[in-house]
Amino acid sequence: MICFDCHADGQDMAAAAVCTACGAGVCAQCAQVGRQTVHRQEGMGSTEGTVSTRVINCPQCAEAMHEHHPDTQGLNP
């Protein structure tokens, strides 16, 4: 698989990951790595613990995530 954004720019860089939002292949240079908190629901509206996980996005999705979900940490728009 090749990086979707680099391919659009005329380069064929190997993809190192897949964007968790749109599914596009991203190379190590384009990948935006951050953290997000996942809440486990237990019953009606209560949470039974949280886990911080890694999230990898392409530049476009990272920008959208940062704008619409500012609590997502580490994604550089």
**7: enclosing H helix or E strand:** helix 4-8
Q: Is pLDDT above 60 for 77? A: no
More confident residue, 53 or 69: 53
**pLDDT at position 75, please?**
58
Token reading at 29: 């240079």
pLDDT in tens, 4-50: 999 999 999 999 999 999 999 999 999 999 888 887 777 776 667 78
Q: Which residues pair with 17 in a beta bridge?
A: 26
| pLDDT confidence of residue 31 | 96
Domain segments of the chain as ranges = 4-68
